[in-house]
Amino acid sequence: MNAVELKDISKAFGGILANDGIDLTVKEGEIHCILGENGAGKTTLMKILFGLYSKDSGRILIKGQEVEIKEPRQAINLGIGMIHQHFMLVNRLTVAENIIAGDEPLKGIFIDQERANSEVEKLSQRYNLKVNPAARIENISVGEQQRVEILKALYRNAEILILDEPTAVLTPQETEELFQVMRKLKRNGKTIIFITHKLKETMTISDRVTILRDGRKVGTVTTSETSPEELARMMVGREVVLRVDKKARKLDRPIFEVRGLSLHNKKSNLYLKDISFTIEKGEILGVAGVEGNGQLELEEALTALRKIEQGQIILKGRDITGLRTRERRDFGLAHIPSDRLKRGLIEEFNLERNLILGSEWQEPFARRGFLVKRAIQAYAKRIIKEFDIRTSGSQAKAADLSGGNQQKVILGRELMRDPDLIIASQPTRGVDVGAIEYIHNLLLEMRDRGKGILLISAELDELRSLSDRIMVIYEGTIVAEGKTEDFTEEELGLLMAGQGLEGVG
């Protein structure tokens, strides 16, 4: 039987047709992957199914029954659960409270805490979703927050689970754990709709794949009968070259130097210890490491968002250790932050405002403190065009853009400023293959134009194909550094796990 049938679903936002006559059939008990570029309409379609958006036209059938889903409550009653691209948990509440919120077991008029805890416990054991019911959301890792979201859906007896880009925020290990959970859910008869940009993941976990492009359905294929290449072609509508070609480079003079940088992050109790490295003009230095080993601290220290205790930072021959964030930016530092919603964008600002973030006092966008609307608008239009940002216009709020397009806004803003050094942290997180190709080429182009780039990434493939040199960070220390060719993937993996420290040197 079919768990979900969507027929001829359409939805427009202003002038944009986000969904254009989409049909989708999901069989009961399968893992069905939805692929598509950023802005293809995946999230929109799922939000329609979950009752968060109203459709303009089309029909929805759940287990063969035609239904109207006007709000999430109805979707939940029909056994649908959704885990969003951006989590919707209440930070100050505990794990258990978040899971039961809105559906609390009652004892009289009070919440039956004990039963709540024991039910959460039971569910988490059954599906091997490890959580600490008493911990507050704000204090747990992203991976754990995601497990909470899944438990929340299961607690409401979801039979059909929608996972919108769950792996974008996970480390490889966490992704593997999630897949175990998904397989277990499948064995228990649950139906899973899974959205991702990673073709490898699609090939590993799904039974069937539906591909969307520009709001339309391109087709549905059986995973075992397809290949990553075919999927990429269907998604983008042309051949995608996942291998970049990197030109050889000659030695050049150093443009960025860090000497003996040390700090202590009291919150996570992580020490960055004596970090030193040099980046030449036209060179990409990759930072490999499992997330949480000091990458964030390094990124923040270099951009003056975090105080350092010792060390020196030198850009273009000038000691910038004492400069503030704005001064460093003005001196030629660009920053693509790892957490784009937290740091990189102001969601409620429109694109025009977001694109001048950091330059809001500078000519030509401002004159003596007065914003020059025309210049800002022209500039925004130019970036939107040049970086192919899919949006209804420069007045659209950043919050209304799809994830990948938000990333392009940040890239556009940072790279258009013609910086000398680019700190790019997870630049392709949550971004589709076409855009990854684009971003990779962009970074290489910047390199060939003589910029220095510090590339912090959790994707080994990305690091290996882009970096000229790689250093491995483990527990706040650089444990290895060398030319990219000098490391095999296995060696990098071991080094990142804190092993084989003697092997390479």
Partner 1 sequence: MRSIIGLLTKVKNRSTITELLYSLTAIVIALIIGAILIYFSGHDVWKAYYNLFYGAFGNSYNLAQTLLKTTPLIFTGLAVAIGFQSGLFNIGGEGQLYWGAFATAVVAITFSHLPGLILILLSLLAGAVAGGIWGSIPGYLKARTGAHEVITTIMLNYIGILATTFLLKNYFKEAGPVDQTRMIPESARMSELIPYTRLTWAIFLAVTVIIIIDYLFKNTSLGYDIQAVGKNRDAAEYAGIRADGIIILTMALSGAVAGLTGSTIVLGVLHRFITNFSPGYGFTGIAVAVLGRNKPWGVLLAALLFGALEAGGMSMQLFAKIPSDLMTIVQGLVILFVAAPAFIQLLSKSLRGADQSE
Q: Interface residues with partner 1 (CB under 8 A)?
A: 52, 71-73, 76, 88, 101-102, 303, 305, 324-329, 335, 337, 342-349, 353, 357-358, 360-361, 366, 369-371, 373
Among 4, 37, 40, 43, binds Mg ion (CB under 5 A): 43
From Mg ion, ligand ATP, partner 1, none, interface partner of 346 (C-beta below 5 to 8 A by class): partner 1
How many residues in the chain? 505
Q: Which among 303, 336, 318, 185 has a CA at the least distance from the CA of 257? A: 318
Query: What is the separation, in whole angstroms, between the first and last Cα of the chain?
Result: 58
From ligand ATP, partner 1, Mg ion, none, interface partner of 461 (C-beta below 5 to 8 A by class): none
Which long-range contacts link 131-136 to residues 24+ away (Cβ below 8 Å)?
Answer: 131/95, 132/95, 133/94, 133/95, 133/96, 133/99, 134/94, 134/95, 134/96, 135/94, 135/95, 136/91, 136/92, 136/93, 136/94, 136/95
From Mg ion, ligand ATP, partner 1, none, interface partner of 41 (C-beta below 5 to 8 A by class): ligand ATP
Burial call 391-400: b when 16+ CB within 10 Å, e when fewer: beebebbbeb
Q: Map tokens 């969507």 to a residue.
A: 6
Please check whether residue 467 is in contact with residue 284, taking contact to mean a CB–CB distance below 8 angstroms.
yes
404: its two tokens: 């990948």
To the nearest 10°, report the CA torsion of 158, 161, 162, 163.
120
From start to end of 37-112, where are the E strands? Answer: 57-62, 65-67, 80-83, 106-107, 110-111
The interface mask with ligand ATP, positions 159-188, x = CB under 6 A, is ------------------------------
Distance of CA 441 to CAs 4, 196, 404, Å? Answer: 39, 22, 16
Among 44, 167, 394, 467, binds ligand ATP (CB under 6 A): 44
Minimal distance in Å, beta carbon 217 to partner 1?
27
Minimal distance in Å, beta carbon 162 to ligand ATP?
12
Closest residue by beta carbon to Mg ion: 43
Q: Which is nearer to Mg ion, 80 or 443 (CB)?
A: 80
Q: Which of residues 190-249 bind ligand ATP (CB under 6 A)?
A: none
Instruction: Determine if 475 is a binding residue for ligand ATP (CB under 6 A).
Output: no
From partner 1, ligand ATP, Mg ion, none, interface partner of 18 (C-beta below 5 to 8 A by class): ligand ATP
Residues in binding contact with ligand ATP, number by CB under 6 A: 19
Q: Which of residues 76-105 bind Mg ion (CB under 5 A)?
A: 85
From partner 1, Mg ion, ligand ATP, none, interface partner of 454 (C-beta below 5 to 8 A by class): none
Q: Which of residues 333-372 bind Mg ion (CB under 5 A)?
A: none
Among 136, 249, 390, 417, binds ligand ATP (CB under 6 A): 390
Phi, psi of 389 (to 5 degrees): -80, 120
Q: Which is nearer to ligand ATP, 95 or 195 (CB)?
A: 195
Minimal distance in Å, beta carbon 15 to ligand ATP?
10
* Angle formed by the axes of helices 433-448 and 403-415, nearest 10°: 10
Please check whether residue 180 is in contact with residue 144, taking contact to mean a CB–CB distance below 8 angstroms.
no
Distance of CA 165 to CAs 147, 196, 228, 350, Å? Answer: 14, 5, 18, 24
Among 401, 422, 463, 496, binds ligand ATP (CB under 6 A): 401
Q: Which among 435, 36, 45 has a CA at the least distance from the CA of 231? A: 36
From Mg ion, partner 1, ligand ATP, none, interface partner of 15 (C-beta below 5 to 8 A by class): none
Please check whether residue 181 is in contact with residue 127, taking contact to mean a CB–CB distance below 8 angstroms.
yes
Q: Which is nearer to partner 1, 414 or 462 (CB)?
A: 414
Q: Which is nearer to ligand ATP, 180 or 395 (CB)?
A: 395
Q: Map tokens 């855009």 to a residue.
A: 435
List 270's β-bridge partners, or say none: 265
List 222's β-bridge partners, or say none: 208
From partner 1, ligand ATP, Mg ion, none, interface partner of 110 (C-beta below 5 to 8 A by class): none
Query: What's the rounded Cα separation, in Å, for the pair 105 and 123?
Result: 15
Among 38, 98, 226, 321, binds ligand ATP (CB under 6 A): 38
Query: What's the rounded Cα separation, in Å, for the pair 491 and 479?
Result: 12
**3-state DSSP assignment of residue 148:** helix
Query: What's the rounded Cα separation, in Å, for the pair 117 and 125?
Result: 12
Q: Which is nearer to Mg ion, 163 or 333 (CB)?
A: 163
From Mg ion, partner 1, ligand ATP, none, interface partner of 457 (C-beta below 5 to 8 A by class): none
Q: Which is nearer to ligand ATP, 39 or 452 (CB)?
A: 39
Query: What's the rounded Cα separation, in Å, for the pair 313 and 272?
Result: 14
Minimal distance in Å, beta carbon 42 to Mg ion?
5
From ligand ATP, partner 1, Mg ion, none, interface partner of 44 (C-beta below 5 to 8 A by class): ligand ATP
Minimal distance in Å, beta carbon 39 to partner 1?
18
Among 4, 36, 288, 313, binds ligand ATP (CB under 6 A): 36
Instruction: Determine if 403 is a binding residue for ligand ATP (CB under 6 A).
Output: yes
Query: What's the rounded Cα separation, in Å, for the pair 147 and 135?
Result: 13
From Mg ion, ligand ATP, partner 1, none, interface partner of 38 (C-beta below 5 to 8 A by class): ligand ATP
Instruction: Determine if 88 is a binding residue for ligand ATP (CB under 6 A).
Output: no
- Site residues for Mg ion per CB under 5 A: 43, 85
In the complex, the residues that contact ligand ATP under the rule CB under 6 A are 13, 16, 18, 36, 38-44, 85, 390-391, 400-404
